[in-house]
Amino acid sequence: MRSTCALPTLTMLGAISLCSTATAAVTRSSLPTLSPSRLAAFAPSLSMPAARRGITAQGRTAALMQASPSLVASSPLLPSPLGTKSRINGPQGGLRNPSVVACRAASTDAKEEKKVQEKEDGKPAVKKRVISGVQPTGNLHLGNYLGAIRQWVKNQDEYENYFFVVDLHAITMPHSPAELKKASYDIVALYLACGIDPTKSKIFIQSHVTQHAELCWLLNCVTPMGWMEKMIQYKEKAKKQGESVSVGLFDYPILMAADILLYQAQLVPVGEDQRQHLELSRDIARRFNDLYCKKKSMPAKGRRVFRDPEALIVKEGARIMSLEDGTSKMSKSDPSEGSRINLSDSPDVIRKKIKRCKTDNFDGIEWDNPERPECTNLLNIFQACSGRSREDILEEVKDMRWGEFKPVLAEVVVEHLAPIQARYQELVDDKTYLHQVLREGAEGAEEVAAQTMQWTKNAMGFTSRADLD
C-alpha cells in the first residue's frame, strides 16, 4: 500500500511523526504500543531512547527514515493497522501501512525518552508495593531483625512499603489482653528504632484498618474448604493446642491473604515456611477474579479486582537459627528464652545467652560443615552483625576454642544492637509520637484498603449506602 504521509506533525508526547494528523490519531487509538524488545526486532537503533542516541527532536525524523526495510521484513510477527498480529508474506514484507511503523516508533521513543528525563529530573519512578506484618506476641529477636527488618530498612527507597502489627493474628492463640496492647506499641517502637522511616513507609496496627477483617470474611466465602485442610502450619499448631484450638487458627491463612490482597501488593517478603500461605493468596485472588470479574456483563465489567502477589525472598545468609538447636529457626514462639536474643535484651543478658548456647566438641571454628549447624549459625550471626567477609572473620577466629570465640561474638552483637536499644527506649517513652505515627499510617493504609473493598463488594453484587442517595 502506498504511504499517505504528509508534513511532519507533533504527537501527544512531543515526538515528530511522519504520519498525517489523521493517521497519527487513528494509530494512537487502534494500535498496541510497540515494546522496546519488539521494536528492536526490526529497527534496533530505534529501541534506544533518543537522549541516549544523541538525537534531537528535529533529528528523529531522519533517524526513522533510515530504518532498514530489510530489518522490517525480517520480523515474523508485527502488528497490523487493526491492532492484531499478522504474519508477513510476500517479497516486500513490512506492515500494511509503513507510515504506522514510523508513527508508533516515534511515540514509543518519546515515552522512553520521557522516562529517562524523569530520572534525570529526579522525579520518583513508580514503585512496587510491599507489605509485611509482625505479630505482637513475644519480643522481636535478632532473627527478625537480621532476617527481615534490616532488609526492609534497606529497601525503603526502592519500594512502597506497608508495615503493620498483626494483632488480629495474635488472638488466634491464647493471649493476655494487657500484654497484647503493650506488645503492639513495643513492636512499633522497635520498627522505628531499627530504622523504618514513617515518612517513607506506612506503619500501622492491623485492627485499626477494619477492612482487613471485612475482606477476610468475603474471601472465606469464595475459598474451598479443601484448600484450607491442606495447610501444614495449622496441623502442626493444632497438635500443640489440642481440643482448645480455635476456628481462628484454622482460618488465619485467609486473613493473611486478605492482608496481602487488600493493598494490591506486588511483593511479599516471605521465608520458605510461609511460601504455602503466599500461594494460597494467589489462588484465592485468581479464583475471585474468575468468579466475579471474567465477563464484561458482570458488575466488575471484566476488570480484575486483585493482582497476583509475588514472593520477595530474603537474601541468602540472613536465616538465623536457634541458640539451642542449629537446625531450627530462632523463634518468638519457642518456650525457651535461651533459644533467642531479643532486641530488648540487656548487654549482660546477651552475653549470658551466648555463653550458654549450644556448641559441639570439634576443634576450631568453621563454616558450612553439615555436622556442625550450631557453629555455622554463630558464624552467620557474627557476619551479619559485623558486616565483615567470611575470609576476614575466619582469619581471626578459625583457631579459637569456644571459650575464646563466644565472648568475641557477644561483644559484636552487643555493639551492633546498642544504638537500636537506645533509640527504642526514647520511643517507648514518647507515646505522643507513637500515636501520631500510627494514626497517619492507618489513615494512609485505609485509603488504599477502602478502594479495594469498594471494588470487591461491587464485583460481588453488594449494595452500598451511596446507592441509596
Domain with CATH 3.40.50.620 in the chain: 129-317+436-460
Q: Is the pLDDT of residue 15 over 80?
A: no
Query: Do 218 and 457 meet the contact criterion of CB atoms below 8 Å apart?
Result: yes
State residue 246's pLDDT score: 83
Residue type, 283: D
Q: Is the pLDDT of residue 119 over 70?
A: no
Q: Which residues are catalytic?
A: 237, 329, 332
Instruction: Name residues whose C-beta falls within 8 Å of residue 407's C-beta, 6 or more positions apart in sequence.
Output: 351, 355
Bridge-based pairing state of the strands 77-79 and 85-87: antiparallel
Domain spanning 129-317+436-460: CATH superfamily: HUPs (3.40.50.620)
State residue 47's pLDDT score: 37
Within its chain, how far is the Cα of 42 from the centroid?
A: 36
Average pLDDT over residues 206-225: 96
What is the Cα–Cα distance from 204 to 165, expressed in whole angstroms? Answer: 7
Of 153-167, 182-196, 233-247, 397-411, which gets the smallest average pLDDT?
233-247
Q: Is the pLDDT of residue 139 over 50?
A: yes
pLDDT-derived band at 125, boundaries 50, 70, 90: low
State residue 314's pLDDT score: 57
Domain with CATH 1.10.240.10 in the chain: 347-429
State residue 459's pLDDT score: 94
What is the Cα–Cα distance from 384 to 317, expressed in whole angstroms? Answer: 8
What is the Cα–Cα distance from 232 to 378, expressed in whole angstroms? Answer: 29
Cell numbers that stand for 451 in this block: 478502594
For the chain, what is the HEC assignment?
CCCCCCCCEECCCCCEECCCHHHHHHHHHHCCCCCHHHHHCCCHHHCCCHHHHCCCCCCHHHHHHCCCHHHHHHCCEEECCCCCEEECCCCCCCCCCHHHHHHHHHHHHHHHHHHHHHHHHCCCCCCCEEEEEECCCCCCEHHHHHHHHHHHHHCCCCCEEEEEECHHHHCCCCCCHHHHHHHHHHHHHHHHHHCCCCCCEEEEEHHHCCHHHHHHHHHHCCCCHHHHHCCHHHHHHHHHHHHHCCHHHHHHHHHHHHHHHHCCCCEEEECHHHHHHHHHHHHHHHHHHHHHCCCCCCCCCCCCCCCCCEEEECCCCCCCECCCCCCCECCCCCCCHHHCCECCCCHHHHHHHHHHCCCCCCCCCCCCCCCCHHHHHHHHHHHHHHCCCHHHHHHHHCCCCHHHHHHHHHHHHHHHHHHHHHHHHHHHCCHHHHHHHHHHHHHHHHHHHHHHHHHHHHHHCCCCHHHHC
Please state, for a pLDDT cut of 70, what percent of the chain lies above it. Answer: 69
**Residue (of 368, 371, 363) closest to 398 by Cα position:** 363
Q: Could you give the angle at the alpha carbon of 325 between the alpha carbons of 319 and 329, nearest 5°? A: 30
Query: Do 403 and 168 meet the contact criterion of CB atoms below 8 Å apart?
Result: no
pLDDT-derived band at 121, boundaries 50, 70, 90: low
State residue 238's pLDDT score: 67
pTM above threshold 0.75: no
State residue 155's pLDDT score: 84
Residue type, 245: V
Average pLDDT over residues 250-254: 91
pLDDT-derived band at 467, boundaries 50, 70, 90: confident
pLDDT per residue over 355-394, tens digit each? Answer: 999 999 999 999 999 999 999 999 999 999 999 999 999 9
Q: Is the pLDDT of residue 154 over 90?
A: no
The topology (CATH level 3) of 347-429 is Tyrosyl-Transfer RNA Synthetase (1.10.240)
Provide the mean pLDDT of the chain: 77
pLDDT per residue over 260-317, tens digit each? Answer: 999 999 999 876 667 888 999 999 999 999 999 988 878 888 889 999 999 887 564 4
What is the Cα–Cα distance from 255 to 248, expressed in whole angstroms? Answer: 9
Q: Within a 13 Å sphere around the CA of 100, how many CA atoms are in the beta-carbon half?
A: 22
pLDDT-derived band at 92, boundaries 50, 70, 90: very low
Cell numbers that stand for 419 in this block: 544504638
